[in-house]
């Protein structure tokens, strides 16, 4: 049984037919073709599928696709600013905050949710923002440093 789903994805209107009851992750990857969002556990525990829905972090694997009708969905594919990387992406590169890279899309979106809400986070706030995202490679410290650095860089540009 297919059901129509319409929402905004990274600023563009998209429409797809999804299996009734399908999760947003599967619809993004299989019906819409946005392969930037990754699936890890499909249980809501690893955080790699994190996207922003109406600006708030959500786990796409446990989000009913139909519940996103009319909403704004952001994935890591929409992070770049024209030809330039988002400051978070640049900071992740500079701090070697990705090794295997599988958690990176979710980490970036969790961090973006934080910086959109709080441009000057403390280290503790960064740790809390990514505490639902599992990374088995980096030991987290490079990721925390990258998010803090991205925040400082964004602030410098605004000053």
Partner 1 sequence: MSVAVKTFAKLADAAGALSSERGARFLAGGTLVMRALNEADPSIETIVRSTDPNFVNIALSSGRIELGAGVTMAAILAERDLAFLHPVARAVGGPAVREAATVGGNLFAPSPYGDFAAALLALDAVVMLAGGFGQREAPLEEFLGRRERGSALVASVVCKRPAADAFRFVKVTRVHPKGVSVLSIAAQLPLASGRIAGARIAYNAMARAPVRAKAAERALEGRTLDAAGIAPALAVATDGTAPVDDAIASAWWRREILPVHLRRLLIGAGHA
Q: Binding residues for partner 1, per CB under 8 A?
A: 1, 3, 19-21, 23, 42-44, 47, 50, 56-59, 61-64, 66-67, 110, 113-114, 127-133
Q: Quick one: 50 or 138, whose CB is closer to partner 1?
A: 50
Give the nearest distance from C-beta 132 to partner 1 in angstroms: 2
Instruction: Enumerate residues 6+ apart whose C-beta is below 8 A from 28.
Output: 9, 34, 37, 51, 60, 73, 75
Q: Which is nearer to partner 1, 54 or 81 (CB)?
A: 54
Q: Spell out the residues 6+ positions from residue 98 whose beta carbon is closer than 8 angstroms to its own.
A: 92, 104, 137, 138
Which DSSP category does 64 fall into? B
3-state secondary structure of 81: strand
Q: What is the DSSP code (8-state) at residue 85?
A: P
- Residue 57 or 142 with smaller CB distance to partner 1: 57
User: 67 or 120, CB closer to partner 1?
Assistant: 67
In the complex, what is the shortest distance from the CB of residue 6 to partner 1, in angstroms, rounded to a whole number? 15
């Amino acid at each position: 049984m297919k059901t129509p789903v319409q929402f905004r994805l990274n600023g563009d209107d998209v429409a797809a037919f999804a299996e009734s009851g399908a999760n947003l992750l599967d619809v993004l990857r299989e019906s819409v073709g946005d392969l930037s969002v990754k699936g890890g556990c499909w249980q809501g525990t690893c955080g790699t599928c994190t996207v922003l829905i109406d600006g708030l972090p959500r786990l796409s694997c446990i989000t009913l696709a139909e519940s996103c009708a009319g909403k704004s969905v952001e994935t890591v594919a929409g992070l770049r600013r024209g030809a330039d990387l988002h400051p978070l992406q640049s900071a992740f590169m500079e701090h070697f905050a990705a090794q295997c890279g599988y958690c990176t899309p979710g980490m970036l979106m969790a961090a973006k949710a934080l910086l959109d809400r709080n441009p000057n986070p403390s280290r503790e706030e960064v740790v809390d923002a990514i505490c639902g995202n599992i990374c088995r490679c980096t030991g987290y410290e490079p990721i925390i440093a990258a998010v803090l650095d991205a925040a400082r860089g964004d602030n410098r540009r605004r000053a």
